[in-house]
Amino acid sequence: MRQHELAESLNKRIEGFTGRYGTLQDRHIRNWLTGKTRWPQARQRRALEEEFGCELAELGFQKPPPRSAVLVRQAFVEGSVKRRRFTTAAAAITAGAALPDMSSAPTSGGPTAPAPPVLASSQVGISDVQRLRQDLDHLTLMDDRRGGHKSLEDAAIAGAQRALGLQERSATQRIRKRLHGIGAEYTTRAAWACFDSRDFDRAHSHLARATVLAGMSQDHYAQLSVWNVMSMVSFRQSRHADAIAAAEAAQALVARRDPLLASLAHARSAVAHAGAGDKQSALRQLGRAGESLTKTASTLDAPRPSWLDFYGSAELWALSAVVHFELGAPEEAEASAHQALAALPPRFRRNRGLITTRMATAQLQQDDVELSYTTAASVFDIMDGTPLPARMRTALGDYRRELVRRAPTSVQARDWTELMNAKGS
């Protein structure tokens, strides 16, 4: 990278965690390279560590000693000659102390003394954090393929235990916060797995623990992850006041940090208000979600955790469909679902199946039985070769009940039962 390119990249990273574009220029980079500036500012240090994936010491920076330490050193060292003599003497003393006492060594043929143990470094660094993050990204891909299941929950809990176990080793305060943040994200992933498999009690248990860890981390991404899942779980349990409160907590956390995060928080709030029957608030929050999403173009390259990959225009349309569905507007719900499917990336197959199921139910509520049946049946083609997550099976079960209620004697009602049995769902 050229100096001005590095400055631009670091400025974007600074904007990602402060909300304001950085002020670095190529002259700052030159000062670092020449040693004129030996210790950058705090936000610049964070951006450098994120950019290069290592700690400042590995990049050649050294934290200056406190002023008191400088004065003490100056008082005891009186010139370069004395300093060299002192260093040499200290090295000799240290080496001599480390050597075994050969006068008491066993003679040839006698028992040998055990070798001193070789201790591995107990220092936890950024590389440990990155390995945990990579494993967490792997769980995200597993979730994309299969949805929530017991193995995903177990793997997430194990990951959280690894992250928290590293707290027993030596680490800087910043690394400790990162470990708490990753522990919170792993625990939230376990809660999500329970939510997706319809085990709401276990989901709440994991979320309670994740809330504590996220607070200790002071990481707004980890905190947002907790509030996001908590709002979803509460909504599905019809605990609408809790769903609204969790969404509002997310809004307060990220309102000015990142427009993408703000959009997600507003969208989650819209769904919660729709569930509570508050049409005006739901549509207002939905509008704000859309406005925030339009402001994300300048922050698309900002570093964000992989669990946020799902959110974009397609997911906002999908949540719009949920809002309209809850507000009793099936025409708008169907239109939003069409928009979501058109914008959804191919790899989100499970999301495509869920959106298609909602669209089929919206069509059924408009008394278009034949079209809704065709739409619902296509879910099995979308998910071909992949087990249906519990949440999707529940959505298909809701569709069946609505089909039987609206058209109990129809050919579609009879065929749907046979189709469900044939697919093993």
Question: Can you tell me the distance from the alpha carbon of 147 to that of 145, in angstroms, rounded to the nearest whole number?
Answer: 6
Of 228, 278, 304, 288, the closest CA to residue 255 belongs to: 288
**Residues 88-109: what's their mean pLDDT?**
39
Least confident of 104-108, 133-137, 403-407: 104-108
What integer pLDDT is reported at residue 88 of this predicted model? 43
Report the 3 state secondary structure along 10-36. Answer: HHHHHHHHHCCCCCCCHHHHHHHHHCC
Strand ranges (E), 82-201 = none
User: CA-CA distance, 358 to 335, in Å (whole number)?
Assistant: 11
Question: Which DSSP category does 368 fall into?
Answer: -
Quick check: 246 pLDDT over 90?
yes
Q: Which residue has the higher pLDDT, 35 or 73?
A: 35
Query: Bridge-partner residues for 170, per DSSP?
Result: 123
Taking the C-alpha atoms of residue 258 and residue 261, their distance in angstroms, rounded to an integer, is: 5
Q: How far apart are CA 123 and CA 121, in angstroms?
A: 6
Average the pLDDT over each of 97-106, 226-235, 249-258, 311-320 and give the range with the smallest value. Answer: 97-106
Give the whole-angstrom CA distance, residue 384 versus residue 370.
22
pLDDT at 56: 77
CB 341, CB 349: distance < 8 Å: no
Highest mean pLDDT of the ranges 133-142, 189-198, 224-233, 388-397: 224-233
Would you place residue 356 in the very low, low, confident or very high pLDDT band (cuts 50, 70, 90)?
Answer: very high
pLDDT value at 414 more than 50: yes
Q: Is the pLDDT of residue 200 over 60?
A: yes
Residue percentage of the chain with pLDDT more than 70: 83
Q: What is the largest CA-CA distance in the chain?
A: 102
pTM, 2 dp: 0.67
Specify the higher pLDDT residue, 112 or 364: 364
Q: Is 123 helix (H, G, I), strand (E, B) or coil?
A: strand
Q: Average pLDDT of 27-54? A: 83
Report the candidate in 207, 209, 246 with the shortest Cα–Cα distance to residue 228.
246
Given a cut of 80, whether residue 224 has pLDDT beyond it is: yes
Question: Using an 8 Å Cβ cutoff, are 163 and 179 in contact?
Answer: yes
Which 8-state DSSP code applies to residue 59? G
Find how far residue 301's CA is from the centre of its chain: 16
pLDDT at 65 (0 to 100): 58
User: What is the Cα–Cα distance from 197 to 185, expressed in whole angstroms?
Assistant: 18
Per the model's pLDDT, the better-predicted residue between 220 and 94 turns out to be: 220
Residue 384 DSSP class: T
Measured CA to CA, the distance from residue 73 to residue 76 in angstroms comes to 5
What is the pLDDT at residue 239? 92
70 — pLDDT class (breaks 50, 70, 90): very low
Question: Can you tell me whether residue 170 is helix, strand or coil?
Answer: strand
Contacts 24+ apart (CB under 8 A), 83-92: none
Tokens of 175: 């690394």
As a whole number, mean pLDDT of residues 245-274 equals 89
Across the range 58-69, mean pLDDT stands at 64
pLDDT value of residue 365:
92
Position 64 scores a pLDDT of 67
Q: pLDDT value at position 375? A: 94
Look at residue 145 in the predicted model and tell me its pLDDT.
Answer: 66
What average pLDDT does the segment 311-324 reach?
Answer: 94
Report the number of secondary-structure helices (H) and strands (E) in the chain.
19, 0
pLDDT in tens, 363-396: 999 999 999 999 999 999 998 877 788 888 889 9
Quick one: how far is CA 388 from the chain centroid?
Answer: 24
289 within 8 A of 267, measured Cβ to Cβ? yes
Of residues 215 and 120, which shows the higher confidence score? 215
Lowest mean pLDDT among 38-52, 117-131, 223-237: 117-131
pLDDT of residue 321: 95
CB neighbours of residue 24 within 10 Å: 23
pLDDT at 113 over 90: no
Please give the structure tokens belonging to residue 419. Answer: 């189709």
Would the pLDDT of 328 be above 80?
yes
Once rounded to an integer, what is the mean pLDDT over residues 283-304?
82
Strand-pairing partners, residue 123, are 170
How many other CB atoms are there within 10 angstroms of residue 393's CB atom? 16
Domain coordinates in residue numbering, the chain: 3-51
What's residue 301's pLDDT? 59
